[in-house]
Amino acid sequence: MEMKSSITDTWRLFGLGSLVGWLILLLFMQQNNYNMNLLAIRNIIGPFNISISSIDVPNFRGKQLHIEKKCNIFDGRWVYKPEESPTYDPLKCPFVEEKMSCKKNGRPDLAYEHWKWEARDCSIPLLNGTDMVERLRNKRVILVGDSLNRNMWESLACTLYSSIPLTRAVVKDNSSIPVITLTAKDYNFTVEFYWSPFLVDFNLNHKSGKKVLVLDKLSPNSKHWPGADIMVFNSGHWWAQTGTYKRYELLEYDGKLIEDMELELAYEKGMRTWQTWVEENVDPKKTTVFFRSISTEHKSSKSDQWCYKKTQPIKDESYISYYPNSLVEITEKVIKEKRKTQVKYLNITKLSEYRIDAHPSMYRYKDWKNLTKVYKDVLSAHADCSHWCLPGVPDTWNRLLYASLFYDL
């Protein structure tokens, strides 16, 4: 009996080992078929703009194998889709400044409105204004920074404004702070833009009589920032301006005026001041904080890298940004540091580099035809290759913000 029992136990162990071996083999075979299954699924759901960050792949027995797939929504390409329209009509949106109103100013080509950003590894949901106003119910959104963040605010405000009853939207522009606010009464949310190009204090009334950038003191309007549910910051363009375009005359740090400091050192001190404010004033359980990366300018002296008269995006990697890479590295280093409040990086730089066609150029002016003749010898000083036509590239920034906020990508 003992020998028979021993033989039976041996066969049981052999059977169990064989079963485990077969399961491992099946999983290995399933993993090899994963890419094929994923590609097939993308082809099926692609038109419906469903994002794939995790999927259930059916195996040959009809069961589900759950696989996580991380999506980089900032890595992709621009695809021309003339059949798709922007999320708003710029002629009906009251927030678009003249310098971004390319269509209203008479720009003859409008192809720049129909390029859509597609990620390489997944589908990014389109920005649905009706859905977003519901998701923002009872919330407060602030954008803080320079005119490129105002460009982004105008795009977002237009998208939301077109999705709510016009009589239930209120806009206030308080130049004393300065801030401009869109309030949706029925949804009880606000979207606010605060002008603060350096994020730290830029004192134009300093006792020295000079324009002073105070590196260890945040912008005075920062007292209005706390309590927001979503914060989107940017800075960089004003820091990088040199020569006659340099905005400040002196720096101040630790109570001392400084005539000269290495740009990278000054910028990092300013970013550290902002980082400290975020740590001390933001509740990570309530608030999501983003820092938007640098928005590309196309004003190089090289004709093929100057936005004037460009009607097509750059198709290759030939563009070389004037913006100091050292400042980009400092920004990313500060943001990626582990902190109580983890800042999310809205990395729109590369996707914006391709869009040399989408700047206002001379169409920032209503009288562009006459001014083009008047300034024909100095057009490079007057063509706007920094800001963006609306609708246009900032709509994609907001689409990526929307996807980052509300979808598990």
Annotated catalytic residues are 147, 384, 387
- Enter the tokens of residue 102: 């390319």
- SS3 at position 281: helix
Q: What is the separation, in whole angstroms, between the first and last Cα of the chain?
A: 61
CA–CA dist 259, 262 (Å, integer): 10
Please list, in sequence order, all residues whose beta carbon lies within 8 angstroms of the beta carbon of residue 64, skipping any fewer than 6 positions away: 56, 57, 58
CA–CA dist 354, 137 (Å, integer): 35
**Neighbouring C-beta atoms of residue 360, cutoff 10 Å:** 26
Provide the 8-state DSSP code for 384.
B
Angle at 110 between CA 106 and CA 113, to 5 degrees: 125
- List % helix, strand, coil for the chain (3-state, nearest 5): 40, 20, 45
- Enter the tokens of residue 143: 């954008």
